[in-house]
Amino acid sequence: MNARLDRRAFLAGVGALAVASPSVLAQAKPRVVVVGGGFGGASCARALAERGVAVTLVEADARYVACPFSNLVIHGSRGLDQQTFGFDGLRKVGVEVVHGRAANVDADARRVAFQDGTTLAYDRLVLAPGIDIRFDALPGYDAAAADVLPHAWKAGAQTALLRKQLEAMEDGGVVVMSVPANPYRCPPGPYERASLIAHYLKTHKPKSKLLVLDAKDAFSKQKLFMAAWAELYPNHLEWVPLASGGKTVEVDVRAKAVVTEFGRHAGAVVNVIPPQRAGVIAHAAGLADRSGWCPIDPVTFESRLRPNIHVIGDAAIAGAMPKSAFSANAQAKHCADVVAALLRGQAAPEPKLINTCYSLVAPDYGISVAGVYQPAKGILADVEGAGGVSPGSASRETRALEAVYADAWFRIATSSVYG
């Protein structure tokens, strides 16, 4: 039984199969399995196929809904359809796409186990499971609560729900947003969302206001965000940091209220962005440490806890690199080069990685943060002298240009991964 037959049998729904004999496996063309069809996984699968590696991409959903730019859906200026991508483009470049929910990994037998009991053999595995919302972290906020008070931190139905609630809210209603402590997906994301909600309120519900309750005192691009808020939304956005009692300690779903260390804040619309951890499969497979995220080797992105498994994207502890789609995409291409080199019996290439995150403070007002990273002392560290945020003194023309670049990045990134 070789890997390919096994896979066909799996697709035919035959069920659990015998463990492949290593001698037969060794003769077959090595197969890489990638779990997760987001910016990291889909990009890695595509890059592997382009490098001539036999690759299977495992993704639970038939279509992927992208998080970057989904704050514009909440703002009302973008459709969820513009965020949604299929996998036919990946099939066209030779990636085998399997839709199923991977539940666990047997690292010793080198097999991915699906929820329905079937398995899939691999020579190397790339795991890009993204995030899992921690429904055990805030008392009162479980999966059922998210149907009333959306997190909208995984794009899709949650994004549409938050948009619908904002639209239905009467002018004068208070919007409450709860923001978690680090680390979480997309560090500047809550502040872009706050900006765009404030923009929507200012232009459509001027008597309304957004209250941002934050478990932190400092955040990404803070000076730029706060200067823009003072200029654009002085009456529509109030940020409450940790030091002023911003940390959420409980959620009261029935009262639609967020309870902080200092008080209780009811809202007509409540957006709870809860604490997060690596995607579920990372925990089942023993790839996450006590932090809830996956420790990796900064050169190869191989798990520090299990052999022959690479972890990329939001789930990985990538040192100074933020949990962003751009980072995931850059890590994915590097990881594909690592896997291709290791399968050839060569040394893994050294990474030098880039991240760029644009945030929209208004639809025509963009700001950015960039970084360049390389391994140092066992982690991915910032290259000194590089990176940083947009200048505080930039003109409105430059801000408008960065909004145009943000939009261009999204179109290029999604078409080069899914197109």
List 111, 193, 205, 334, residue binding another protein (CB under 8 A)? 334
List 86, 231, 346, 378, residue binding another protein (CB under 8 A)? 346
| Cα–Cα distance, 201 to 236 (Å, whole number) | 7
Spatial contact of 258 and 267, defined as CB atoms under 8 Å apart: yes
| Cα–Cα distance, 153 to 159 (Å, whole number) | 8
* 59 phi and psi angles, rounded to 5 deg: -145, 135
Angle between helices 325-343 and 396-418 (to 10 degrees): 40
The nearer residue to another protein, 240 or 413, going by C-beta atoms, is: 413
The nearer residue to another protein, 24 or 408, going by C-beta atoms, is: 408
| Cα–Cα distance, 419 to 407 (Å, whole number) | 16
Using the rule CB under 8 A, give the single segment among 115-123, 154-162, 219-227, 350-358 that binds another protein. 350-358
The nearer residue to another protein, 124 or 333, going by C-beta atoms, is: 333
The nearer residue to another protein, 106 or 337, going by C-beta atoms, is: 337
List 2, 104, 308, 398, residue binding another protein (CB under 8 A)? 398
47, 52, 54, 58 alpha-carbon torsion, rounded to 10°: 10
The side-by-side arrangement of strands in the sheet containing 102-106 is 102-106, 111-114, 119-121
Considering the rule CB under 8 A, would residue 82 count as an interface residue with another protein?
no
List 172, 245, 263, 349, residue binding another protein (CB under 8 A)? 349
The structure tokens listed for 279 are 């995607």
H helix runs in 169-284, sequence order: 189-204, 222-232, 280-284
Residue 35: exposure state from Cβ atoms within 10 A (0-12, 13-18, ≥19): buried
The nearer residue to another protein, 305 or 400, going by C-beta atoms, is: 400
Q: Which of 396, 373, 394 is nearest to 385 (CA)?
A: 373
The nearer residue to another protein, 17 or 381, going by C-beta atoms, is: 381
List 56, 265, 402, 418, residue binding another protein (CB under 8 A)? 402
Minimum distance between the CB of residue 10 and another protein, rounded to whole angstroms? Answer: 29
Considering the rule CB under 8 A, would residue 16 count as an interface residue with another protein?
no
| Cα–Cα distance, 210 to 401 (Å, whole number) | 27
Considering the rule CB under 8 A, would residue 370 count as an interface residue with another protein?
yes
List 372, 376, 379, 381, residue binding another protein (CB under 8 A)? 372
List 385, 392, 393, 396, residue binding another protein (CB under 8 A)? 385
| Cα–Cα distance, 317 to 296 (Å, whole number) | 6
Neighbours of 62 (CB within 10 A): 10
Using the rule CB under 8 A, give the single segment among 18-26, 119-127, 219-227, 328-336 that binds another protein. 328-336
The nearer residue to another protein, 279 or 351, going by C-beta atoms, is: 351
What is the per-residue DSSP string for 162-191? HHHHHHHSPTTPEEEEEEPPSS-SSTTHHH
| Cα–Cα distance, 270 to 265 (Å, whole number) | 9
List 171, 245, 344, 378, residue binding another protein (CB under 8 A)? 344
Minimum distance between the CB of residue 303 and another protein, rounded to whole angstroms? Answer: 21
Size of the site for another protein (CB under 8 A): 45
Considering the rule CB under 8 A, would residue 353 count as an interface residue with another protein?
yes
Considering the rule CB under 8 A, would residue 263 count as an interface residue with another protein?
no
List 20, 32, 33, 47, residue binding another protein (CB under 8 A)? 47
Spatial contact of 405 and 390, defined as CB atoms under 8 Å apart: no
The nearer residue to another protein, 232 or 299, going by C-beta atoms, is: 299
List 374, 376, 379, 381, residue binding another protein (CB under 8 A)? 374
Binding site for another protein (CB under 8 A): 47, 51-52, 326, 329-330, 333-334, 337, 340-341, 344, 346, 349-354, 356, 368, 370-372, 374, 383, 385-388, 390, 394, 398, 401-402, 404-405, 407-409, 411-413, 415-416
